[in-house]
Amino acid sequence: MTVSTVPLEKLGGGKLLIDREIKEYVRKYRMLEPFSEHLNSNGVISWGLSSMGYDIRIADEFKIFTNVWNSVVDPKKFDEKSFVDFKGKECIIPPNSFALARTVEYFRIPRNVLTLTMGKSTYARCGLIVNVTPFEPEWEGYAVLEVSNTTPLPAKIYANEGIAQVLFFASEEPCEVSYADRKGKYQKQQSIVLPKI
């Protein structure tokens, strides 16, 4: 079976940035910092620049979900009491639960770039799923990560090590209206920000 592909030119000229282009965008736009030009993998879950993306790290601040106070999770009325705050080198996520965290890296997404983020295979093979929404053009801040433990056992994640890979897609032209233009509610977030309406 052959897979047909649509040429990028027919999709408006967008393209996935490769390693040397990511470096150029970091130099030109300060797209993410701190930035490592190499994949760091000596005894840790890898992080840094890869062939066609950047492996981000998870910081040491966590909000671990607990269902002690709520019977319904409501994004319009999310109660901060639903979380236990924790800071440390390792975080244990309870069975069938999740934790929120933030990236070590601070992002400044250029006006012609959109990102997609995928969890690392090391954690996926342990039943841990990382969910991150796209970083929109001209969004800026620390990214909030959601790490779900899909297993019936407690699961450990390691702070200041790799957690997910960000892919950067660049268009030939900037968007008409950016995240900054419409004053997005998560613009320039500095911490683990809970759902807002």
Beta carbons within 8 Å of 129's beta carbon, 6+ residues apart? 119, 123, 147, 148, 150
Question: Which residue type sits at 106?
Answer: Y
Beta carbons within 8 Å of 43's beta carbon, 6+ residues apart? none
Catalytic site residues?
A: 146
The secondary structure element, H or E, covering residue 91 is: strand 90-93
Query: C-alpha distances in angstroms, 52 versus 22, 23, 121, 158, 164?
Result: 8, 11, 16, 24, 13
